[in-house]
């Protein structure tokens, strides 16, 4: 299959480099970028460049277009590509809101073309480990999952700081964390609370927290920071029979599981802190628990593109389905609404 890239910036070039190195089923042949220097870079990398976006969409030799422009351009460009008979892979966040995505989904159906979002972080090892722990029921049913990405760069570069381009951390990192959490359960989200901060940015959120409650009793908290100097764990998951922690992207972490009959083995101790006693918070004796390693998992990001090709050829279900991305966008809409109204949003997403 022949693929062209719209928006040959950081991510556009990343797609090119990684497809070229890892996915022989796809040949990246062309690119279009509004900036001359990026057109030149695409040429240097051996790509045919188009003078206009229209020129790219009218090239009948292109089967798939990957869109990697700033977020506010995605909807219009995706619709044009689909209407011109191309399958479309769109960078995240797919659109600026759920309504825009619904328009794209309609067009994709009408044109009978594949449309999917590059939710590549479903292939992150840390996330695949969490999914594995949940699905294998290693420590029982999860009831609280905390997922954090905390940096300290403070500055949102370029369009990421601009509201009209869909800047801000809810759109940038939040979308990954939401997609991951929703991918863990089919249960509808019934409550959403979003708390956004604009500490340094004039226009958009540069730090945020969001809290979700699902109909099946699971709760989740996601946090993205750009002004955090003492890191917390990437994942902390509380399940009925234990706790899992993954500290970082290198997947350092552990699982602590309650041993059977452990309640019986634990005799009470009272802990005296400076200002008073507590029995509830007494440290649990080690022999009542066991420590398990995080599961061994293998992940390969290139399965994302391979799945898209298999789906186009009718050989596989799409992994990142547009309906799933619509759920993500509805959650994002609710986070912004919650922040705007300073209230918890009741929903069924």
Cβ 145 to ligand NAD shortest distance, Å = 21
Cβ 133 to ligand NAD shortest distance, Å = 24
Judged by beta carbon, residue 31 or residue 105, the one nearer ligand NAD is 31
Judged by beta carbon, residue 219 or residue 324, the one nearer ligand NAD is 324
Q: Report the alpha-carbon angle 125-349-176, nearest 5.
A: 25
Judged by beta carbon, residue 143 or residue 336, the one nearer ligand NAD is 336
E strand or H helix that includes residue 168 = none
d(CA 140, CA 290): 14
Closest residue by Cα to residue 256 from 280, 278, 237, 279: 237
Task: At 72, list the tokens.
Answer: 């506010």
Partners of 255 in beta bridges: 244, 292
Question: In 10 A of CB 139, how many CB atoms?
Answer: 21
Judged by beta carbon, residue 98 or residue 347, the one nearer ligand NAD is 98
For residue 132, CA distances in Å to 39, 86, 128, 300 come to 42, 35, 6, 15
For residue 183, CA distances in Å to 9, 76, 175 come to 28, 27, 12
Judged by beta carbon, residue 69 or residue 338, the one nearer ligand NAD is 69
- Residue labelled with tokens 């293998």: 298
Q: Using CB under 6 A, which of 39, 66, 69, 180 touches ligand NAD?
A: 69
User: Could you give the string, one character per residue 40-59, with x where binding to ligand NAD holds by CB under 6 A and - elsewhere?
Assistant: -------------x------
d(CA 176, CA 93): 8
Cβ contact 47:16 at 8 Å: yes
Cβ 34 to ligand NAD shortest distance, Å = 4
Number of residues written out for the chain: 349
Question: In 10 A of CB 22, how many CB atoms?
Answer: 13
d(CA 88, CA 311): 12
Interface of this chain with ligand NAD, residues 160 to 189, rule: CB under 6 A: 172
Cβ 147 to ligand NAD shortest distance, Å = 16
Cβ 82 to ligand NAD shortest distance, Å = 16
| Residue 7 touching ligand NAD (CB under 6 A) | yes
Q: Using CB under 6 A, which of 120, 201, 207, 226 touches ligand NAD?
A: 120
Q: Using CB under 6 A, which of 1, 34, 228, 292 touches ligand NAD?
A: 34
User: What's the number of CA atoms in the CB half-sphere (13 Å) around residue 261?
Assistant: 1
Q: Using CB under 6 A, which of 47, 56, 62, 68 touches ligand NAD?
A: 68
| Radius of gyration (C-alpha) of the chain in whole angstroms | 23
Question: In 10 A of CB 128, how many CB atoms?
Answer: 17
Q: Using CB under 6 A, which of 158, 188, 277, 285 touches ligand NAD?
A: 158
Judged by beta carbon, residue 10 or residue 285, the one nearer ligand NAD is 10
Q: Using CB under 6 A, which of 80, 118, 209, 236 touches ligand NAD?
A: 118
| Phi and psi at residue 194, to the nearest 5° | -120, 135
| Residue 92 touching ligand NAD (CB under 6 A) | yes
From the list 9-17, 44-52, 201-209, 285-293, the region that binds ligand NAD by CB under 6 A is: 9-17
Partners of 217 in beta bridges: none
| Residue 80 touching ligand NAD (CB under 6 A) | no
| Residue 153 touching ligand NAD (CB under 6 A) | no
| Residue 277 touching ligand NAD (CB under 6 A) | no
Judged by beta carbon, residue 165 or residue 289, the one nearer ligand NAD is 165
- The residue with its CB nearest to ligand NAD is 9
Judged by beta carbon, residue 32 or residue 214, the one nearer ligand NAD is 32
Which residues sit at the interface with ligand NAD, rule CB under 6 A? 6-12, 32-35, 38, 53, 68-71, 73, 91-92, 118, 120, 158-159, 172
């Amino acid at each position: 299959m022949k693929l062209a890239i719209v928006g040959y910036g950081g991510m556009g070039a990343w797609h090119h480099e990684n497809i070229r190195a890892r996915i022989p089923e796809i040949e990246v042949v062309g690119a279009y970028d509004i900036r001359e220097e990026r057109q030149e870079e695409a040429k240097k990398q051996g790509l045919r460049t188009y003078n206009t976006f229209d020129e790219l969409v009218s090239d009948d030799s292109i089967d798939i277009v990957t869109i990697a422009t700033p977020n506010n351009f995605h909807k219009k460009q995706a619709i044009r590509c689909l209407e011109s008979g191309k399958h479309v892979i769109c960078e995240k966040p797919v659109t600026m809101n759920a309504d825009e995505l619904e328009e794209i989904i309609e067009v994709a159906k009408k044109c009978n073309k594949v449309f999917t979002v590059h939710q590549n972080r479903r292939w992150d090892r840390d996330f695949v480990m969490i999914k594995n722990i949940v699905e294998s029921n290693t420590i029982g049913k999860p009831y609280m999952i905390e997922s954090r990405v905390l940096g300290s760069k403070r500055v949102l570069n370029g369009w990421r700081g601009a509201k009209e381009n869909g800047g801000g951390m809810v759109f940038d990192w939040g979308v990954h964390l939401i997609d991951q959490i929703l991918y863990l359960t089919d249960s509808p989200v019934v409550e959403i609370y979003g708390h956004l901060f604009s500490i340094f940015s004039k226009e958009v959120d540069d730090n945020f927290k969001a809290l979700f409650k699902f109909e099946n009793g699971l709760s989740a908290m996601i946090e993205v920071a750009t002004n955090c100097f003492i890191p917390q764990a990437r994942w902390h998951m509380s399940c009925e029979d234990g706790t899992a922690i993954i500290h970082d992207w290198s997947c350092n972490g552990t699982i602590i599981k309650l041993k059977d009959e452990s309640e019986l083995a634990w005799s009470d101790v009272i802990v005296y802190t400076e200002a008073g006693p507590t029995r509830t918070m007494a440290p649990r004796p080690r022999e009542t628990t066991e420590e398990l390693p995080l599961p061994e998992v293998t992940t390969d990001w290139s399965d994302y593109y391979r799945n898209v090709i298999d789906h186009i050829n009718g050989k596989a279900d799409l992994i990142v389905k547009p309906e799933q991305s619509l759920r993500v966008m509805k959650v994002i809409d609710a986070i912004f609404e919650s922040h705007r109204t300073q209230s918890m949003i009741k929903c069924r997403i």
